[in-house]
């Protein structure tokens, strides 16, 4: 049976292969997202800037969700052949929930900024404690929403259910979420020489999707053997999940990864 370390190494290796297979899709989507974010940051101060930022954030969520939906339907090895019609169909499916998620993020940011500023401006110990509590509450809420994109792509349910499932995954696996954040920060640092075009946000979300799939597989297996004692319960058959994931990816040379038309 595979150990947890071997499963982690497999997921990292698969993430590298998946990014190579979806190279052009990742670069195009990252370019669109970065253009929108840059334009919103350069926008003049005023009420219109907040509205623009919400729309840009909603577009970012929609692109990431649609990217994951297409990947879940077609498999990573066919992402290079995905046409615009398939992607736009996925966008129409996820745009409303992406808008709600962007609005929720902005409300959390505005509320957290105002509340923390209010409490930390006071010198009283009770105010400081309330400020720390508010900051932690905001951090936990944002941490839960990190799972929104892979949860929405996997379950395709309504917005409130997606938020609930995202929070459930976060609070059941806080250590894994923390490690995923560290890994994502490392990938973003590696994206700097490529101007965040590759792997960038769209490349990062591929691993979050695979990790969620792994966690769901583990949860389903444990639920199926819930009545057994720990000593009698069979180990988790990670090989079964690994075989399913390998079926989505073919063996590639380095040249084929970045030249999919030659594969």
Q: How confident is the model at residue 152 (pLDDT cuts 50, 70, 90)?
A: very high
Task: Round to whole Å and give the CA distance between 81 and 156.
Answer: 23
pTM above 0.95, yes or no: no
CA–centroid distance for 256 within its chain? 26
The share of the chain scoring above pLDDT 70, in percent, equals 83
Res 208: pLDDT: 94
Res 245: pLDDT: 78
Q: Token pair 């508010």 is at which residue?
A: 134
Sign of the C-alpha dihedral computed for residues 30, 246, 82 and 55 taken in this order:
negative
Res 90: pLDDT: 84
Res 39: pLDDT: 76
Contact 11, 206 (CB under 8 A): no
Res 261: pLDDT: 39
Burial 28-47 (b: 16+ CB within 10 A, else e): ebbbebbebbeebeeeeeee
pLDDT at 82 exceeding the cut of 60: no
Condensed to tens digits (0 to 9), the pLDDT of residues 216-225 reads 998 988 888 7
Task: Round to whole Å and give the CA distance between 190 and 154.
Answer: 27
DSSP assignment, residue 234? P
> What is the C-alpha end-to-end distance of the chain, expressed in Å?
33
Condensed to tens digits (0 to 9), the pLDDT of residues 5-53 reads 888 988 998 888 888 888 888 888 899 888 877 777 776 565 666 777 7
């Amino acid at each position: 049976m595979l150990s947890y370390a071997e499963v982690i190494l497999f997921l990292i290796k698969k993430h590298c292969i998946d990014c190579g297979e979806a190279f052009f899709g990742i670069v195009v989507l990252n370019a669109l997202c970065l253009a929108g974010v840059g334009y919103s940051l350069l926008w003049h101060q005023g009420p219109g800037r907040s509205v623009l930022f919400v729309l840009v954030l909603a577009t970012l969520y929609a692109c990431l969700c649609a990217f994951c939906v297409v990947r879940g339907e077609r498999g990573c090895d066919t992402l290079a052949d995905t046409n615009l019609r398939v992607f736009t169909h996925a966008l129409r499916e996820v745009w409303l929930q992406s808008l709600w998620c962007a609005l929720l993020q902005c409300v959390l940011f505005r509320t957290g900024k105002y509340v923390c500023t209010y409490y930390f401006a006071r010198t009283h110990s009770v105010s400081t404690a309330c400020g720390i509590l508010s900051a932690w509450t905001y951090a936990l809420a944002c941490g839960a929403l990190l799972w929104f994109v892979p949860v929405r792509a996997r379950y395709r349910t309504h917005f409130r259910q997606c938020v609930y499932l995202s929070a459930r995954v976060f609070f059941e696996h806080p250590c894994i979420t923390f490690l995923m954040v560290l890994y994502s920060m490392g990938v973003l640092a590696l994206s700097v020489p490529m101007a965040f075009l590759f792997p960038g946000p769209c490349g990062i979300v591929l691993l979050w999707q695979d990790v969620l799939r792994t966690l769901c597989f583990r949860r389903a297996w444990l639920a199926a053997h819930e009545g057994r004692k720990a000593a009698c319960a069979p180990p988790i058959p990670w090989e079964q999940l690994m075989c399913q994931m390998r079926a989505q990816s073919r063996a590639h040379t380095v040249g084929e990864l970045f030249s999919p038309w030659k594969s």
